Structures are given as structure tokens and as C-alpha cells.
Amino acid sequence: MPRIEHVAVTPVAFRDPPLLNAAGVHEPWCLRSIIEVTIEGGITGLGETYGDDGIRRCLEAAAPALIGLDVSDLAGMERAAQAACGATTISAKESSSRTGQDMLVARVFGAFEVAATDALARHLNLPVASLLGGQVRESIPFAAYLFYKFERHRFDPSIPADPWGEALTPEGVVEQARRMVALHGFRSLKLKAGVLEPEAEVEALLALRAAFPDAPLRIDPNCAWHVHTTLKLLPKMLPVLEYLEDPVPGITPMAAVQAACPIPLATNMCVVAWAHLAPAIRQDAVRVILSDHHYWGGLRASRELARICAVWGLGLSMHSNSHLGISLAAMAHLAAATPNLTYDCDTHYPWLEDDLIEGGKLPITDGALRLPPGPGLGVTLDRAKLAAMHEDWRRCGIRKRDDGTEMRKYQPDWQDKRPRW
């Protein structure tokens, strides 16, 4: 196999709408890191991951240690990630939920694993899905990801009003859903909750059911509710939900809700590392895992997670955060090679204004994405857009996502005290 000759890590920033969640509101700029792994013969594979300074510095520290490795030497790449994470001091200012020591190595290694897999697949003239066991579906179904949101970022006059407008009422959420469905043909709908009073959010859920009587629905309070609040709301929610995502924080509270709930609970918050699986399964805390190759350690680790879910009878889908087309392509190849993908995947991609891949944004039509054609992930960097987004990163001044600090610009007395209800 060819060896790795060069590794580049480029931080970028792109516009993010003022989407609300239990932690606050998205900042005007989203940060990502773009990974390029070039192998003998001049082939370059791409990866994309978080852009917070703590993770970025670990990526940059690990990159030189990958040079000279066989492109298929994943164990060597993981050792390089372990060494870099162990030697990198992440300050309190840089630390975040993404930099916890139990998950940091997987997040750094996973970024390189995707890029190396893309390079190897290009070398072999195969799609990435072929290296993950083979393609089992032609297109990947996604759900419309609905948010409460402000009309605009109010504290940067250079940012125009968001074309999606405000959504703070059931009517606003339904209108947002209608537009998402009209643009992309989504069949499933997900509402990000944990923002307003829970009863108001359930009313929005019921309004979505009235407007879309046949659409599978899900709601995600991001652990902002108490157990007793969730149990009180279950009678209203049960008739309309396919699953309930992370209503309460922690495996044991989730188990208490699942014991009283005939529909599945889903999570991307209390089961996010291998050590969480055994206690969650033992306590029957969740019945759907929302995987994410960015923090489970890459594509192959996520396929291993899928196999565990199949063995234990757990449902499986995919979690999303604000991302670009490289991540979407990686999600799609992973989903295409995962037989037991039981629910439509999440994606923030429709909220993205522009991409840094050649040809612009990948099309989601009829609620699904077909794999980009060509070997590897099927996407190529637009060098001019990469340079522009890197310049935006340099100028924006944001170095760690912090929805809570951004929210306090809007509401100075706002505090993140989850669970609040």
C-alpha cells in the first residue's frame, strides 16, 4: 500500500444561522478543520471535523507523525493521535465537551481515518463504501432538522437577516418545516427542543403532526427536561412520536423514562463512547443510538458500533452538527454500507449557505442523498473557497464554539442550568 507523504490541517469558518438549543444559540461562525492526507502517487484524501482550538491543536500535533505510515495503518494513526493528545495541554479556555479525555483521541484519530480511507479508496478506484463492507442502499434518507431560531444575528451589522426568518411559535416551526419539505422533499421531521417551556414545544410538535399527518416525528430537548416533566408530557407526545431523543441527562434518568415509555428513547448524549454502552444496555436506558463518526473514532468504528446495535436489538441512526460537504459525504458512505440503519439520519446541511467542495452543495432531493459519483468520498476541494473560509476563520475571532456566551448577548441574565424544566 502507498505511504503517507503529507498531512495538512486547515481551520475554516462559515456562516451559521442563529439556531437555538438548550445550550443557547449558534454563534455567527461555525468552526471546522479540514484534513488532507496525501499519499505516494499524489492522491489526496479528505476529512472534516471540529474546529475548536483544543482539537485543532491536537490534530496539528499528530499530523507530522503520520508521514511515512502505510495509508492503511490505522493502528499507527491511532498511536499518533494518542501521543499527540497526551502531549497537548488544553487550557480551560480551550476546553469543551468535545475535548474530554475519554473522547478526545477518538475524535482526533477519526478525522485522520476518514481522510486516509478516502485516499486509499481513490488509490484503489473504489467508493469509500466498498471499503466499509459494500454498498447496501442506493440513497441515504435524511430528516428535516427544525429549530427555534432568531431572525438574525443581532450583534454583527455585516451579517444580513437570515433568509429563513424567525421561528419561535408553533406556526413559525410549521412554516419552516413546509419550506424544508418543499426544498428537499424530507419525509421525516425532527424538532430541536429544550429552548421554550416544554408544554409550548409539545404544542409545536402537535402542530407539526396536524400539518404533516404521515411524517415520522421526533423531538430532542438535549437533556433540558427533568424526569417528572418528561413523564407528565408523555401522554401528549406518545401518539405522534417515532422516538424521543435525550429528554433527560444521564443513563440512569434515561432508564427511568424508558421504563415508562412504550416508544424508544434515542441518544447522542448519554452514550457517546464505548464505555457507555454496557451500562446503557444493562439498564435499558436507550433503544436507539445516534452514531457520529466524528466522535466514535471514524468510519470503521462506527460500523463496529452498528454491529453491536444489531446484536443487542438497538435501533440506529446518525447524529449531526453544523458541517460541510466532506462530512456529509462521509456520513453518506457510512450509511450506504450500514445494513441496520433503522431511522432517517439527522443533518444540519440544509442550513449551510455555501460549501467548499467543487460544484457547490450536495443535493438532497426526495428527502435523500445519493452517493457522490467517483472514487473515494466523491468530493473534491474547491481551493478558492477553502482559502476564503480559512481567511474567515482567521478574521472571525471565534476559537471555540460557545452557544451559552452567544446567548448572553441576547439575554444577559440567561444561564445554562440544564435540566431547567
Residues taking part in catalysis:
192, 319
Q: Where are the alpha helices (DSSP H) in 238-368?
A: 251-259, 274-282, 293-296, 299-312, 325-336
Q: 70 is written with which cell numbers?
A: 502505510
CA distance 242 to 240: 7
How many degrees, rounded to 5, is the angle at CA 128 between CA 352 and CA 114? Answer: 65
Are 307 and 140 spatial neighbours (Cβ–Cβ below 8 Å)?
A: no
What φ, ψ does residue 284 adopt, rounded to 5°?
50, 50
Which residues touch 199 (CB under 8 Å, ≥6 apart)? Answer: 233
Are 255 and 283 spatial neighbours (Cβ–Cβ below 8 Å)?
A: yes
- Beta strands 241-245 and 265-267 are parallel
Helix (H) / strand (E) containing 117 = helix 101-124
- Beta strands 44-50 and 29-39 are antiparallel
